[in-house]
A and B are shown apart, each in its own frame.
Chain A
Amino acid sequence: MLFNSNTFLFAFLPFVLAGFFVAKNLSGGRAAQFWLAICSIVFYASAGLSLLPPLALSILVNFLTGRALTRRHLRGETTTALLFAGVAFNLFLLGWFKYANFAVANLNLFGLHLALPGIVLPLGISFYTFTQIAFLADAAHGLASEYDILRYVLFVTFFPHLIAGPIIHHREMMPQFAPERLTLRIFDHLPKALMLFTIGLAKKVLLADGFATLAQPVFDNAAHGLAPDAIAAWGATLAYTFQIYFDFSGYSDMALALALMFGIRLPVNFLSPYKSASIIDFWRSWHMTLSRFLRDYVYIPLGGNRRGAWRRYVNLMIVMTVGGLWHGAGWTFLCWGALHGFYLLVNHAWRGATGRWRLTPLSLWSGRAITFIAVALAWVLFRADTFAAARTIYTAMFGLNGVAVSVHLLTALGIPNGAQLGPIRIIPLLAAQLGQAEVILLCLAGLAFVWLLPNSMELTGFAPSPGSALARKLEFRNAARFAAAAAVCLFACISVINSGAPSAFIYYRF
């Protein structure tokens, strides 16, 4: 069930909200907990009943392991072996469901003839596995303890975060799931939650899906060996750069908003990453809870930056490669992660060599532009189905497939058919096939949006306001104009949703 589907918007969500209000007012917080847990499981099972056994097994084993770790910690016994076993179980589960097909396919390249297991990836397994690994690690260090299975089930399955994050910490969530907290007056949050949900839905439906229509044909063609020209390749790459931004940021907004409707505050996951003036800053604002997980549970245990510069670089490469592989079982994802590891390495080395720069408008904007282009170039690897498709796009971006120009423009400029512009071939293009101006304008609009506007977290009080006049004007308040804007925006989204099939969020695949 997608957040942007009619079923979710008009049936599931109102039903769950109504049931929650009834449960907490008539029977108290425990009933509300139970209701939310049941509804979350129904939400998950709506994608297929076969998804439930892996989730149930994961929850049960982790709950029991976590409880045992807490007891050992309280008794002052060593927790290392049990923690190792618990983490190994989670990695095995993730490895089996997510990487078995990939591993067998690669082993077969060496002449083995192993049958592909044909395993179907359970929805959200990467997210709920990482959430629970964090729980086990915290339990082993006495930072988390859980003895109530219902609360634990709700912690893992709470539907706003189950499928695509944010990756939550037990210690930041459990106090909020306490029965006494759930019975608080949460009606007050609904206007803000509705506004944030509408902003997220609009990002997904109006922006991300719009950019997808520009990116998809070019990447699909590349997957079939059809090479685009330079303008089409850049257009598709930038369109995908904005698509994934609005898709994931829209999803994150909706997840936070949905949780807020029940009085739960999820951690911020997305904070204008394209405004970052460096790759280091980019990873502090893109998928922030994954970065936090990788820092706390991979980078720091590996030694972090405590063992010298070279060891730090190695650790960074390991962390980012793991992060890449976490996104998908494929070499392109692994290389995307490694490329970002390399970016981070260069960024740290640069900072080490030059010291921290004082941020001037020039350094800020040049840093933003360089970071943006580096990130966009890396998205090609992330989006392309194969290395061959990625190479096709990269080749085209550097002009090696020529540049398509309208025949009318060529005629007007007096350029003959088949002309060369230095080493670059000029391809005459029918006016009917031209969408270049549209793509360029939309990408410029996208850039203005992500660079110049305050983000939804700042506007709804999840993050500090930038304090600009525009931000102050747009900051959410319980005012009639915001109610009108939310209603009009939601109606526009519903119109678009009903004008085509709802599209899945990109991060649902991970």
Chain B
Amino acid sequence: MPERTLLSPARWLGIFAVIFASLCAAAVVDATAQFGSRTRNSWLTCSYIAAKITRGSALASPKLVVISGSNATLGIDMETLGRALSIRAFNFGLSASDGPGFQSFEAAKILKPGDAVLMPLEYMAYDYGRPQDSLVDAVYACGHDYWQSLALGERLFYVMAAKPWRLIDAMVFESRKDEVARTAAEASDEAGPLGQRLSEAMPAATQTLSGVQQPLAIRFDPASPGVRAIAKFIREAQQRQIAVFATWPNTLLFPEYRDNPELRKIRAFYDSLAVPVIGTPEDAMFPPDLMGDTIFHLNRAGIAVRTQRLTRSLADNPAFNSWLATSHGQAADVEHQSSNPAGGSDR
């Protein structure tokens, strides 16, 4: 059947250009409207981060801050670690899906010169590429400063990734004032005094987890945005006189991980940045009976073992000991100055 109205090439191209330009403009308008709008999930994340920033900033320096995904919050007991090493320690573990760029950007807000950072990043951080939906959601809710810190191409990603229906979710959520308040309170409680809330009633090893037989595909991609973000954060931290240490994430033990060349690449990456790596990957690998609800989360017993092993590894590391000695000295100075009414040095 012949087409009713065939267009001239110029007219056809004109229609094409107008529609394409309109769609691009709509995407920009949509993205602009999304900033500051909160969905329930993004508000949970934002409140959690805000609580961690408030409590972490209140902790005097020098302090040890753990930056990672949730393997840290459900892996390292900061209270026990801090007591064992006689340091102030704070857990800034967020979620692995946030990626190392966002995790370190937010954590940097509580860091001061003289502090130390320990990074037990989940293995997916080393080939983290396209930001996940949960991160896009959080960035639109409370990460405008993070978005502004990105390169143009990465900013464009968020513009293109803004889903119009997210605005509807946000409007529905904002209309429920009590839910907004409840969500913030829930997140604040979850953040705990030292960045984590550990209860005795944490999930025990699950039947399903012990049946899982597929190990993670660990990949180190030096060109990935994840690895580039880690390197950027480390360089900036080192410039700010913040000591950086890396370690391995707690995860379920698989024999296949033994002699994995990707793990050697991760170590070489940190070596190239003069970042001491604490312990071995095997130190952080645990059998199913010590695991919690995912292959990165430990149960209460697992956290105790993990914290004990990590404490020992940190204490055995000369670079960490050097930072520890300096930080203990600084802490003593601070105490001395605060006990001296003049606040000056006792020359």
Residues of A within 8 A of B (CB): 6, 187-188, 190-191, 194, 217, 220-221, 224-226, 404, 407, 417, 427-433, 472, 477-480, 482-484, 486-488, 490-491, 494-496, 498-501
Q: Which residues of B contact A477 (CB under 8 A)?
A: 3, 6
- The residue in chain B whose Cβ has the minimal distance to the Cβ of A408 is B208
- The residue in chain A whose Cβ has the minimal distance to the Cβ of B162 is A495
Report, nearest first, the 8 A-B pairs whose CB atoms are least far apart: A487-B19, A428-B211, A483-B15, A487-B20, A491-B23, A500-B130, A483-B16, A495-B160
Q: Which of B101-109, B214-222, B269-277 contacts A (4 or more CB under 8 A)?
A: B214-222
Known contacts A187-B9, A479-B3; decide if A488 and B161 are in contact (CB<8 Å): no
Could you list 14 further interchain pairs (A-B, Cβ under 8 angstroms) beyond the known A191-B9, A480-B5, A483-B13?
Answer: A194-B13, A417-B211, A428-B211, A428-B212, A428-B213, A479-B5, A480-B15, A483-B19, A486-B16, A487-B23, A490-B20, A498-B159, A499-B157, A500-B130
Task: Report the minimal beta-carbon distance from A217 to chain B, rounded to whole angstroms.
Answer: 5
A-B contact pairs, 11 of them (CB 8 A): A221-B217, A226-B215, A472-B1, A477-B6, A478-B12, A480-B12, A483-B13, A484-B15, A495-B161, A499-B161, A501-B129
Rounded to whole angstroms, the CA-CA distance of A142 and B7 in the bound complex is 45
**Is B24 in contact with chain A by the CB < 8 A criterion?**
yes
- Which chain B residues in 9-50 approach chain A with CB under 8 Å? 9-10, 12-13, 15-17, 19-20, 23-24, 27
A194 engages B6 (CB within 8 Å): no
A478 engages B7 (CB within 8 Å): yes
A478 engages B212 (CB within 8 Å): no
Known contacts A484-B19, A498-B157; decide if A478 and B9 are in contact (CB<8 Å): yes
Known contacts A191-B9, A499-B130; decide if A491 and B24 are in contact (CB<8 Å): yes
Known contacts A472-B1, A484-B15, A488-B23; decide if A407 and B9 are in contact (CB<8 Å): no
Known contacts A483-B15, A491-B23; decide if A430 and B208 are in contact (CB<8 Å): yes
Rounded to whole angstroms, the CA-CA distance of A432 and B5 in the bound complex is 52
Report which of A430, A487, A495, A500 forms a contact with B16, defined as CB distance below 8 A.
A487
**Is B260 in contact with chain A by the CB < 8 A criterion?**
yes
Rounded to whole angstroms, the CA-CA distance of A190 and B19 in the bound complex is 17
Q: Which residues of A contact B208 (CB under 8 A)?
A: 407, 428, 430-431
A483 engages B209 (CB within 8 Å): no
Q: Which residues of B contact A433 (CB under 8 A)?
A: 212, 214
Report which of A194, A221, A429, A494 forms a contact with B160, defined as CB distance below 8 A.
A494
- The residue in chain B whose Cβ has the minimal distance to the Cβ of A406 is B208
Report which of B129, B153, B211 forms a contact with A498, defined as CB distance below 8 A.
B153
B7 engages A432 (CB within 8 Å): no
Name the residue among A187, A407, A490, A495 with the largest chain B CB count within 10 angstroms.
A495
Q: Which residues of A contact B207 (CB under 8 A)?
A: 407
Rounded to whole angstroms, the CA-CA distance of A305 and B8 in the bound complex is 51
Name the residue among B5, B156, B157, B208 with the largest chain A CB count within 10 angstroms.
B208
Rounded to whole angstroms, the CA-CA distance of A430 and B209 in the bound complex is 7
Residues of B within 8 A of A (CB): 1, 3, 5-10, 12-13, 15-17, 19-20, 23-24, 27, 129-130, 153, 156-157, 159-161, 207-209, 211-215, 217, 219, 256, 260-262, 294
Q: Which residues of A contact B6 (CB under 8 A)?
A: 477-479
Rounded to whole angstroms, the CA-CA distance of A432 and B9 in the bound complex is 51
A226 engages B217 (CB within 8 Å): yes
Task: Report the minimal beta-carbon distance from A476 to chain B, rounded to whole angstroms.
Answer: 10
Task: Report the minimal beta-carbon distance from B6 to chain A, rounded to whole angstroms.
Answer: 5
Rounded to whole angstroms, the CA-CA distance of A463 and B17 in the bound complex is 28
- The residue in chain A whose Cβ has the minimal distance to the Cβ of B129 is A500
Q: Which residues of B contact A427 (CB under 8 A)?
A: 213-214
A226 engages B256 (CB within 8 Å): yes
Q: Which residues of B contact A224 (CB under 8 A)?
A: 217, 260-262
Rounded to whole angstroms, the CA-CA distance of A498 and B130 in the bound complex is 10
Rounded to whole angstroms, the CA-CA distance of A431 and B211 in the bound complex is 11
Q: Which residues of A contact B3 (CB under 8 A)?
A: 477, 479
Known contacts A190-B13, A191-B12, A430-B212; decide if A483 and B217 are in contact (CB<8 Å): no
Q: Which residues of B contact A221 (CB under 8 A)?
A: 217
Q: Which residues of A contact B7 (CB under 8 A)?
A: 478-480, 483
Task: Report the minimal beta-carbon distance from A110 to chain B, rounded to whole angstroms.
Answer: 26
Report which of B9, B23, B211 forms a contact with A190, defined as CB distance below 8 A.
B9
Rounded to whole angstroms, the CA-CA distance of A187 and B12 in the bound complex is 11
Name the residue among A407, A494, A498, A501 with the largest chain B CB count within 10 angstroms.
A498
- The residue in chain B whose Cβ has the minimal distance to the Cβ of A187 is B9
- The residue in chain A whose Cβ has the minimal distance to the Cβ of B1 is A472
A432 engages B215 (CB within 8 Å): no
Q: Which residues of A contact B213 (CB under 8 A)?
A: 404, 427-428
Known contacts A477-B3, A479-B3; decide if A499 and B160 are in contact (CB<8 Å): yes
Task: Report the minimal beta-carbon distance from B140 to chain A, rounded to whole angstroms.
Answer: 15
Task: Report the minimal beta-carbon distance from B9 to chain A, rounded to whole angstroms.
Answer: 5
Task: Report the minimal beta-carbon distance from A505 to chain B, rounded to whole angstroms.
Answer: 18
- The residue in chain B whose Cβ has the minimal distance to the Cβ of A191 is B12
Task: Report the minimal beta-carbon distance from A105 to chain B, rounded to whole angstroms.
Answer: 19
Rounded to whole angstroms, the CA-CA distance of A484 and B1 in the bound complex is 20
Q: Which residues of A contact B159 (CB under 8 A)?
A: 498
Q: Which residues of A contact B23 (CB under 8 A)?
A: 487-488, 491
- The residue in chain A whose Cβ has the minimal distance to the Cβ of B254 is A226
- The residue in chain B whose Cβ has the minimal distance to the Cβ of A428 is B211
- The residue in chain B whose Cβ has the minimal distance to the Cβ of A497 is B160
Name the residue among B130, B214, B215 with the largest chain A CB count within 10 angstroms.
B214
Task: Report the minimal beta-carbon distance from A433 to chain B, rounded to whole angstroms.
Answer: 6
A483 engages B12 (CB within 8 Å): yes
Q: Which residues of A contact B20 (CB under 8 A)?
A: 487, 490-491
Known contacts A479-B6, A500-B129; decide if A217 and B217 are in contact (CB<8 Å): yes
A488 engages B19 (CB within 8 Å): yes
Task: Report the minimal beta-carbon distance from B143 to chain A, rounded to whole angstroms.
Answer: 17
A498 engages B156 (CB within 8 Å): yes
Q: Which residues of A contact B24 (CB under 8 A)?
A: 491, 494
- The residue in chain B whose Cβ has the minimal distance to the Cβ of A194 is B16
Task: Report the minimal beta-carbon distance from A96 to chain B, rounded to whole angstroms.
Answer: 28
- The residue in chain B whose Cβ has the minimal distance to the Cβ of A475 is B3
Rounded to whole angstroms, the CA-CA distance of A483 and B15 in the bound complex is 6
Rounded to whole angstroms, the CA-CA distance of A223 and B23 in the bound complex is 42
Task: Report the minimal beta-carbon distance from B310 to chain A, rounded to whole angstroms.
Answer: 26
Known contacts A187-B9, A487-B23; decide if A498 and B256 are in contact (CB<8 Å): no
Task: Report the minimal beta-carbon distance from A466 to chain B, rounded to whole angstroms.
Answer: 17
Name the residue among B1, B3, B16, B129 with the largest chain A CB count within 10 angstroms.
B16
- The residue in chain A whose Cβ has the minimal distance to the Cβ of B210 is A417
